[in-house]
Amino acid sequence: MYQVNENYLKLPGSYLFSTIAKKVAAFAEANPDKEILRLGIGDVTQPLCPAVIEALHKAVDEMADPATFRGYAPDLGYDFLRNTIVEKDYKARGCDISADEIFISDGAKSDSGNIQEIFGACSKIAVCDPVYPVYVDSNVMAGRTGIYDATTETWSDVIYMPTTKENGFVPEKPDKRPDLIYLCLPNNPTGTTLTKDQLQEWVDYANKEEAVIIFDAAYEAYIAEDDVPHSIYECDGARTCAIEIRSFSKNAGFTGLRLGFTVVPKDLKAGDVCLRDLWARRHGTKFNGAPYIVQRAGEAVYSPEGKAQTDEQIAYYMRNASVIRNGLLDAGYEVFGGINAPYIWMKTPDGMKSWDFFDHLLENANVVGTPGSGFGPSGEGYFRLTAFGTYENSVAALERIKAL
């Protein structure tokens, strides 16, 4: 008989947000009179901005006309978008990245799940703890993570780098040498980030240890402070050790539109093998491009109107972040993040377990958040709230939490 990929069977439980969705649905069914406020999953609520809508309509009209209709996109994505990204995201910040190092995709989740595929089966991965589940789960599926210990909720072959209030949410260099280091900055779920000097240390470390940093910069648009890098390529030497993943989901509200990109510099080489060429081969074999109309929508994000309008959306969400952060502080909670990121990371009260606090908040305040332990063992005793709701709901949720 045929065999299945047994690594899949090692995955404990189901994907974090599916579990939350099921719990919330059960609560809603049992309590049809309660109004539930959702500050759980990091999904945006503001509609697409006018510049993006206009670009979409225009591109749709092009698809109706034989003279302007577009079929298969170029393998790496359309030049108009890749060239714009080079100018606005990289050259403008002094980063040396060229258009043929940029791969347009259907989003950062796909890319951060798929990128591990171009590396050897025995690669050791290092992740911050807590961490976005996709990094670990995609490596579990590939058989790289060893044995799962249900008690500690850790994998024997994964290097965990705790980021907690004790170390100021700055991951320490691991004792064992990693091959792949996943860094998400500004961080999901903690909402914290690193300064340029702190990130430079990681770039130097990766170059010294001949490791690759997978740098997830999905939240870079939320950076408010000056000495926080928007791209890892602002650090010296990053071209020889780092892959960067970017998203349009959070900076422009594209969660339902699906667009992202990955940068693989040509200087990133394992001996003679250029990682860019491997990723190009994967892209060309197992993917067929993001929709033309969505790539045009992405281009519009960089126009003067698009930039001004999406900046407004970001300001809107960061006002929510302030409401949540300050509300929690007023209520006496210990709070982190929410300054350079749309996530607020709080200590649960009285050492309560994360899932207990989830239930407590759902049942008593009818507010949905995300249990910190769902992101890794060092997330136990923490809880994540997101700023992606509406202003009114953010205010209302905090009033309820304060009243608990």
Query: For a copy of itself, which is the closer residue by CB, 289 or 338?
Result: 289
Query: For a copy of itself, which is the closer residue by CB, 55 or 194?
Result: 55
Tell the smallest beta-carbon distance from residue 18 to a copy of itself (Å).
Answer: 6
Single-letter residue type at 134: V
Tell the smallest beta-carbon distance from residue 300 to a copy of itself (Å).
Answer: 12
Tell the smallest beta-carbon distance from residue 402 to a copy of itself (Å).
Answer: 26
Query: For a copy of itself, which is the closer residue by CB, 77 or 381?
Result: 77
CB 232 within 8 A of CB 182: no
Tell the smallest beta-carbon distance from residue 116 to a copy of itself (Å).
Answer: 9
Q: Which two tokens stand for residue 272?
A: 């003679």
Tell the smallest beta-carbon distance from residue 171 to a copy of itself (Å).
Answer: 19
Count other Cβ atoms within 10 Å, centred on residue 178. Answer: 22
Query: For a copy of itself, which is the closer residue by CB, 293 or 362?
Result: 293
- The dihedral region occupied by 355, where left means phi > 0, alpha psi between -120 and 50, and beta the remainder, is alpha
Query: For a copy of itself, which is the closer residue by CB, 131 or 328?
Result: 131
Beta-carbon contacts of residue 45 (< 8 Å; ≥ 6 apart): 388, 389, 390
CB 63 within 8 A of CB 293: yes
Tell the smallest beta-carbon distance from residue 359 to a copy of itself (Å).
Answer: 23
Residue 299's SS3 state is helix
Query: For a copy of itself, which is the closer residue by CB, 56 or 301?
Result: 56
Q: Please give the helix or strand (H or E) that residue 399 lies within, else none.
A: helix 391-403
CB 262 within 8 A of CB 279: yes
